[in-house]
Amino acid sequence: MRILTPIIISALMVSTAYAQDAAPEAEVLHWFTTGAAAAALGEISQDYQEAGGVWIDNAVASGEAARAVGFNRMVGGQPPSAMMLNVGRQTDDLIDQGLLAPIDEAADASGWNQNAVAAVKEAVTRNGHIYGAPTNVNGQNWLFYNKELFERVGAPVPDTWENFWIALDKLKAEGITALAVGAQPWQLSMMFNHTLAGLGGHDLYLKVFADRDVEAIKSPEFREVVDAMVKMRDYQDPGSPNREWNIAANMLITGNAAIQIHGDWSQAEFDAADWDGYGCLIGTGDKSFIMGGDMFVFPKLSDNASEERKLGQQLLAQVMLSADTQVSYNKNKSSVPSRTDAKFEIVDRCKAQALSAMADPSLTLPADGMLLLPDTVGALMELEGELWAGTVSVDDFVTRFANAIEYAD
Amino acid sequence: MASSLTRPSYFRNIASNLAAIPAWLVLLVAYGASMGWTIWISFTSSRVMPVNEFVGLQQYERLWGELAWTTALTNIFIYSVLSIAGSLILGFLLAVAIDQRIRAEGVFRTIFLYPYAMSLIVTGLAWKWIMDPTLGLGKVTRDFGMPWLSFDWLVKPDTAIYVVIAAAIWQTSGFVMAILLAGLRGIDGDLMKAARLDGIPLIRFYLYIVIPELRALIVAAAVLLTIGAAKVYDLVVALTGGGPGLATEVPARFIMIRLFLRQSIGQAAAASTIMLLIVLLIALPWVYFQYVRTPNSRGEKS
Amino acid sequence: MTSSLGPGPSGAKPKRFTAGRIGLYVFLFSAALLFLLPLYVIVITSLKDMAQIRNGYIFELPLSPDLDAWHRAWSTACTGLKCEGIHTGFFNSVKILLPSLFASVFFGAITAYAMSFWRIRGGNMLLGGLLLGAFIPFQVFIYPLVRIFAVVGIFNTIWAVVIVHTIFGLPVITLLFRNFYAGIPIDLFKAARVDGGGFWPIFWRLILPMSTPMVVVATILQVTIIWNDYLGGLVFAGLDNTPMTVQLINLVNAFQGEREYNVNMAATILTAFVPLAIYLVSGRWFVRGIAAGAVKG
């Protein structure tokens, strides 16, 4: 595996005159504090150290806090070498402000440029330069279900919406919590998008998020999606408000709930707990696969940053984008690499679904964060949170949703 | 002799004014410049980083259309009034109770005071569990045959804020108790005996004699509580994350989310400016009369 | 005429078992139980093993209590890619606490001293302005302060966080000291002036020794605020000075994997230990300090 190391080291030695004494170092800001995600990141850290770099870990508990730290460090002129964000438009403003360093060379040297998944590469390219190193492509509209509970009540596999409701009713009739929900806005937003893509369909999803078509939002098809969301509320348990996603995933593992509609990192939870009694589906109804990703951006270091830091930053980008590292990272995270030439052994049936969906452009959809600015995404999340809490009517929801999309930048 | 002391010479005053420089720096630079910058940013189109593109009142127009903001303001008002009143009342009752020559006074005092010592990020999780209908008190009552007492107030939008208020009262009433206890101890012992001899009923005694005596301390406690209530953040994040829906959204959280997660510091700045205006509107007259205009601390007219 | 400023209760001497007496104790006991509830849950959870936590009630006592979770929380729990527990944070928190405490109490005291006895220019405006600033949420100040610190060159160092704590402690501490000094008879001060004392000598030799109750109260208040601070330490302190609260949140808010609640709760108590201990030991001084005039309207 480590064939890459000598290549990288020699590339470095060629590119800088005095690389001998300066051990490249990188301060990496992220929010993978524990569990499978931390293990995945640990793989990157390990590869980086084997390539000669020093990894300075800066883990912060939540995405919000990590952004607070990262943006403030940029404002304060002392940015970290790399900062974790999600693939999409979260970097738009940073790039416009000239705060991020492009990593074109690293992308070329690692071969990522030539083999990247097209949608992801497009999402991180601006003005012809690459500004982010996506570590994976993750799926955001999976439906996981507890097979044993399904068998027990005789519920059909929920691959169509008809079957979905039948399954929910059968589960509920037996006193089983049908849906494991973590009622936090970001999780609810994923459930909503799953329903929009699955029930509303591939085209409606794109009309809403990509074309910003207000008429599409006011259409009866969209309304049907909202109604479905409202109906799903009846199948959760009372403890769902503010519940963390991994707690919800755990409900499936322990048999306390039957279905979780969430991203593929839930599967990492199942695997980490050595539980394989789960079934997995991409999309109910329409089989489109909503893709997002994790990535690292590389803030422009100040002019008086040390040589170690400058070298370290480029080396880090290269390591992150290398095929082998992508494979070892994704094994732990249950997502797929962001480059198509990574030798990723498909061990399970779920990954197989993902990879075959990704191969067909008519079956893939970009996550909302790829098409909309964080402000709009946040506004929609807030709205979906209100819908789930029952504090906004369907009509108001549609109106405000349309409003947010119409005035999105 | 008197005149040379009441009018310190110009020469002597330099040291004292110099010593006050750090405080002036804090006021003018830390508070003043920060608020000035914030107000400026609220008139720009800044998103994740500050930019100087002036857009007039656009941010404010958007802000007032945000249900989250108007809800946050309503919530902070309800929260402040109820949590401060509740802490004052409970703190007073606890102080009176402890003042009654009870045994193990030290133990009780510590029990009521310890919540103030612990971070809410920390105790918030414990309360979240206790009030989780599937884990805490709700589970106990359900399993023990009392499902009608579901303790699910934290997860319902209509009642969530009252649980947050209750947790706030839990946290601060011990502090109020400590202040008022000291005050009770400071009340003229003869006054108490005389009132008792006169046979005044207990409640009237406390209401009409003791409380007026403690007025200054109660006001001080109320000021400290208000300062904390306006800024509440940790408690809300720990207990409800602002939900369900917007039921427990508060200004500090509204601002925080727009600063970093939603990359919209223009909005955050507009919200901050409105907070400043509200503070000025409500607190300024009071601060002025209490501390600036009226007899200065030495009892001499300024 | 003077009342007992000492700790003696001033209620009537109690008769033994009146209904009122019983009612009083019932009230106190119920309130105490309610107040202790969260602490109880935290402590017993820290002593349980995960199996019991998963399957049992949150209120039940541990079946086989052990301190394993405590040990893990202190030295081996993961707070990121590092798995060293939260003990490094403890020393950082102390490193942040001591200078911040000293600075905030000191500057609050001398500002109040200057205001109270020396009638500095704009003294009342200064206090009024600071008090108004105290009502604004901390989040508002993050970006501007970061910028200011960066310009001065101290951003991301321990001095940044020390100054942050001083800034945000100043309004309340100055107010408290000012009210305290209002209770000191002016004649003492005038006598010292007659003796030829200047600003600093009078402070060190006369006023400061008299301020002990107030210093105690201010210290207790500030220890709580500074030790429990999360956001300030997160943004301003720099990676090398990460306080215990930040590490605690990293540990507790585990977004992946099953949460080890027993370790989380143990870490919580370890983090809360310092302020809790201070309150336990000095609660009485807190009350006495207030009784001596530390808090006034």
Span of A10-19, A326-335, B190-199 with lowest mean pLDDT: A10-19
Residue A78 has pLDDT above 70, yes or no: yes
Q: Given this model, what pLDDT does residue B12 score?
A: 55
For B158-169, give one letter per residue: b (16+ CB within 10 A) or e: eebbbbbbbbbb
Q: How far is it, in rounded angstroms, from Cα A308 to Cα A55?
A: 11
Which residues in chain A are contacts of C239 at CB distance < 8 A? 27, 56, 58
Span of A203-212, B181-190, C111-120, C179-188 with lowest mean pLDDT: B181-190
Q: Given this model, what pLDDT does residue A343 score?
A: 77
Q: Do A90 and B263 touch (CB under 8 A)?
A: yes
Q: Given this model, what pLDDT does residue B86 score?
A: 97
Q: Given this model, what pLDDT does residue B3 score?
A: 42
Q: Given this model, what pLDDT does residue B301 score?
A: 36
Q: Does B130 touch chain A (CB under 8 A)?
A: no
Residue A13 has pLDDT above 80, yes or no: no
Decide which of C236 and B5 is more confident.
C236
Which residues in chain C are contacts of A69 at CB distance < 8 A? 234-235
The sign of the torsion formed by the CA atoms of A247, A252, A253, A254 equals positive
Contacts of A13 (CB under 8 A, 6+ apart): A19, A20
Percent with pLDDT over 90 in chain A: 67
Q: How many residues does chain A have?
A: 409
Which residues in chain B are contacts of A75 at CB distance < 8 A? 49-50
* Least CB–CB distance from B296: residue in C121, C124, C171: C124
Contacts of C267 (CB under 8 A, 6+ apart): C73, C74, C77, C85, C86, C248, C251, C252
Residue A378 has pLDDT above 90, yes or no: yes
Residue B13 has pLDDT above 80, yes or no: no
pLDDT digits (tens, 9 = 90+) for A244-288: 898 899 899 999 999 999 999 899 888 888 898 999 999 899 999
pTM of the shown model: 0.89
**Band (A201; pLDDT cuts 50, 70, 90):** very high
Residue B10 has pLDDT above 50, yes or no: no
Q: Does A391 touch chain B (CB under 8 A)?
A: yes
Chain B interface mutation, best of A90, A375, A406, highest count of B Cβ atoms under 10 Å: A375
pLDDT digits (tens, 9 = 90+) for A24-35: 999 999 998 877
Q: Given this model, what pLDDT does residue C16 score?
A: 63
Residue B196 has pLDDT above 80, yes or no: no
Check: CB of residue B45 under 8 Å from CB of residue B51.
yes
Q: Does A90 touch chain B (CB under 8 A)?
A: yes
Q: Given this model, what pLDDT does residue C117 score?
A: 87
Residue B8 has pLDDT above 60, yes or no: no
Check: CB of residue A90 under 8 Å from CB of residue A297.
no
Chain C interface mutation, best of B6, B29, B31, B265, highest count of C Cβ atoms under 10 Å: B31
DSSP assignment string, chain B: -HHHHHS--HHHHHHHHHHTHHHHHIIIIIIIIHHHHHHHHTTB--SSS----B-TTHHHHHHHT-HHHHHHHHHHHHHHHHHHHHHHHHHHHHHHHHTTT-TTHHHHHHHHHHHHHS-HHHHHHHHHHHT-TTTSHHHHHHHTT-TT----GGGSTTTHHHHHHHHHHHHHHHHHHHHHHHHHHTS-HHHHHHHHHTT--HHHIIIIIIHHHTHHHHHHHHHHHHHHHHT--HHHHHHTTT-STTTT--HHHHHHIIIIIS--HHHHHHHHHHHHHHHHHHHHHHHIIIIIIS--TTSS--
Span of A105-114, A329-338, B196-205, C61-70 with lowest mean pLDDT: B196-205
* Least CB–CB distance from C234: residue in A27, A38, A69: A69
Residue C81 has pLDDT above 60, yes or no: yes
Residue B5 has pLDDT above 50, yes or no: no
Query: What ipTM was predicted for this assembly?
Result: 0.87
Q: Which of residues 242-281 of A touch C (CB under 8 A)?
A: 244-247, 250, 254, 265, 268-269, 272-273
Q: Does B70 touch chain A (CB under 8 A)?
A: no
For the residues C4-14, what does the mean pLDDT come to? 55
Residue B16 has pLDDT above 90, yes or no: no
Q: Does C184 touch chain A (CB under 8 A)?
A: no
Check: CB of residue B177 under 8 Å from CB of residue B170.
no
| Cα separation values, C189 from C105, C182, C289, Å | 21, 12, 21
Averaged confidence pLDDT in chain C: 86
Q: Does C251 touch chain A (CB under 8 A)?
A: yes
Return the number of CB contacts < 8 Å for A and B. Answer: 103
Q: Given this model, what pLDDT does residue C251 score?
A: 84
pLDDT digits (tens, 9 = 90+) for C189-201: 888 888 888 889 9
Query: What order of strands is seen across the sheet that includes strand A177-179?
Result: A177-179, A257-262, A142-146, A278-282
For the residues A173-190, what does the mean pLDDT come to? 94
pLDDT digits (tens, 9 = 90+) for A105-152: 999 999 999 988 888 999 999 999 999 999 999 999 999 999 999 999
For the residues C129-152, what does the mean pLDDT come to? 92
Q: Given this model, what pLDDT does residue C293 score?
A: 67
Decide which of A306 and B7 is more confident.
A306
**Band (C188; pLDDT cuts 50, 70, 90):** confident
Q: Given this model, what pLDDT does residue B296 score?
A: 47
Q: Are strands A125-126 and A132-134 parallel, antiparallel or unpaired?
A: unpaired
Q: Given this model, what pLDDT does residue C184 score?
A: 86
Residue C4 has pLDDT above 50, yes or no: no
Q: Given this model, what pLDDT does residue A45 score?
A: 94
For the residues B16-45, what does the mean pLDDT come to? 94
Residue C69 has pLDDT above 80, yes or no: yes
